Chain A
Amino acid sequence: MARDRTPAELVGAAPEQAPFEITFDGRPITTLPGRSVAAALWSAGVLAWRTTRRGGRPRGAFCGIGHCYDCLATINGRPNRRACLVPARPGDTITTQEGHGHAEIAV
């Protein structure tokens, strides 16, 4: 049984473009081209990239199709991006979104 098979091997992925790097809270993550930010994070074993506004609890992708807004992340300095929909690009800076992500505005 092919226990060690990866999804990429299953579909015979052979990207022309080389794997690239993004960072998550400063830590480099290498990923394949074609992934969403959420998929890139999952591929590195990261499941949470937001803390909730009230309880400060960790959250990440849940519905995977842009409906639930649980996967909101700060991408290249912009908060409230749906990580499951936004494609990862080389050099992207992903940071954990704390609460509503607008702490600097201090309402």
Chain B
Amino acid sequence: MPKSPSDRAAGDPYGRVYDLAVIGAGCAGLAGAVTASERGLSVALLDTAGRIGGQFYRHPDPAFGAVRPEALHHDWSAFAGLRRRLEAGDVAHLAGHHVWTVERQDGADTPWTVHAITGADGDGEHPVRVQARTVLLATGAYERQLPFPGWTLPGVVGAAGAQAMLKAGLVLPGRRVVVAGSGPLLLAVAASLATAGARVPAVVEAAGYLGYARRPAVLAADPQKLAEAVVHGAALLGHGVRLRTRSAVTQVHGTDRVEAVTVSRVDRDWRPVRGTGRRIACDALAVGHGLVPQIELATSLGCATRRTKDGTHALALDAFQRTSVPGLWAAGETGGIGGAQLARVEGEIAGIAVAAQVRDGAAPARDGRVRELRRRRERMRAFAGAMAAVHAPGKGWAEWLDDATEVCRCEEVTVGAVREAVDAYGARDARTVKLLTRAGMGWCQGRTCGAAVACLAAGEGPLFLPPSPERRPLAGPVPLGVLGSLDPSEPSAAPAAPAGPAEQPDTDRPDGNSGPRD
């Protein structure tokens, strides 16, 4: 399966013990992998995709023969640099590896075992495991979705999803695409779509951008982010795209696919203002409400988390990117949403720190490079915090729902059913709602509806509380045949019995509520 540099890791990539296993080949993982490798460590780099780059540097398959892949990217040269270093070194790049759990054995010489299934969609032929002395989690983020009437119609796609499909597949969901939700990603998505030939009649942002103006010191501290915003803003103006702040899509129209959306003004708490709805014709809607750190692998190991200013949970990390679990590092979005540049900086810090740990059993010496990286990280983290505060979902969003709106797309659970669980049966958290309604129990395991269900369950209580610690043993669907074929005494890969495709996983287990909280 792995094609690119991995094949040069001659022989069986699973039959050896690595100094470091990096999970995720986006900005953070790449930076961590090449840094550690250049410092003499043996490194395996696992990623679900066939090509490195993660979501930010997702790019077309070489089969397209694209001569200007950078046309859809910012800062492509930074990625090209990482790719060159990866190709020049001897990191074992294991593409098409879907990691479903990471095991730690206390006191063992090789404490870490990373379990993965292979294949483009993990439908692959056999389970594998990679053994390592240390692990760096760089699993990035996924998009937060808040439901609204009509959001399950074909043509409504995630904003990040539209971006991903465009960057990798060179396709658009429609010709006239409204971009909506909240967060800085919307501007980038709208700019990409417009540059690639779509008409974008409006960017609909629920927050007010004035929030940034109230934090001038933070803005001034990260001029590159400002420059990015200016670039996106200019691109949007050039394409005649209108930014509507303090507004939200409150209804999608169409029978079998999107024909139009209604955009309403919202107040400071994102409560729709009656009588302000305006219909905008479009054939697609790209929507998202910020990003959520993808930390299931870490929380199932018991890693401590912290609450971010927009109500998500990120890993609690120390100055050297260490998690609370010895031997486990994390970098990039897993430690809180902060963007590609921050991810590269943190990946490098982690690479340096892991190398020092493996070679000297100590924290790295505080040389000039580490000092510089940490200074940049602090600056960008401060900016990220301000951004999260500006775009934190307001409590009033739930008022744009009607009882027939589906919250859980997998199990087709409506707002009405969730409200019944809350009002009539006393559910107060996402887990209880799930047990009563199946919301969050389907294929995606609540990744898509989790934020919304938690919010509806909390009712008048504090927003996005409680964050069930999500202590799930499996981070993705695994065919039963794969589980059945695992032989604990046999460290290398064993072919799975021919199994059906990954069925609806029912990996629901008691959360234990003992996970570390902030």
Given contacts A11-B69, A14-B67, contact A62 B158 (CB under 8 A): yes
A11 contact from B72, B157, B161, B172, Cβ within 8 A: B72
Greatest chain B CB density within 10 A among A9, A12, A66, A69 is at: A69
Flag B147-176 by CB within 8 Å of A: 1 or 0 each. 000001011111011111110111111000
- Please report the C-alpha to C-alpha distance between residue A69 and residue B197 in the assembled complex, in whole angstroms: 28
The answer to whether the Cβ of B487 comes within 8 Å of any Cβ in the partner chain is no
Most interface-central of B152, B163, B284 (chain A CB within 10 A): B152
Contact A3 B199 (CB under 8 A): yes
B332 to chain A, nearest CB (A): 15
Beta-carbon contact of A10 and B195 below 8 Å: yes
Inter-chain contact A66/B165, CB cutoff 8 Å: no
A54 within 8 A of B: yes
Total of A-B residue pairs, C-beta within 8 Å: 187
Q: Which residues in B have their C-beta under 8 angstroms from that of A48?
A: 154, 256-257
**With A11-B64, A13-B64, A34-B64 in contact, do A39 and B171 touch (Cβ < 8 Å)?**
yes
Contacts of A7 in B (CB 8 A): 72, 166, 170-172, 196-197
User: What B residues does A70 contact at CB under 8 A?
Assistant: 409-410, 444
B196 to A, closest residue via Cβ: A7
Q: Are A65 and B161 in contact (CB under 8 A)?
A: yes
Number of interface residues of A (CB under 8 A): 58
- Among the listed B120, B170, B257, which residue makes an inter-chain contact with A35, where contact means beta carbons less than 8 Å apart? B170
Query: Which of chain A's residues has its CB closest to B257's CB?
Result: A47
Cβ-closest chain B residue relative to A41: B171
Alpha-carbon gap, A28 to B504, bound state (A): 30
Q: How far is the CA of A72 from the CA of B121 in the complex (A)?
A: 11
Whether A72 contacts B443 by the Cβ 8 Å rule is: yes
**Secondary structure at chain B's binding surface: helix, strand, loop or mixed?**
loop
Q: Is the CB of B448 within 8 A of A63?
A: yes
Kindly name the residue among A13, A55, A64, A87 whose own CB sees the greatest number of chain B CB atoms within 10 A.
Answer: A64
- B residues lining the A interface (CB < 8 Å): 48, 50, 55, 60-69, 71-72, 120-123, 142-143, 152, 154-158, 160-166, 168-173, 195-197, 199, 238-240, 256-257, 284, 409-410, 412, 442-444, 447-448, 501-504
The 8 closest A-B pairs by CB, nearest first: A39-B169, A64-B161, A34-B61, A69-B443, A34-B63, A12-B67, A48-B154, A85-B121
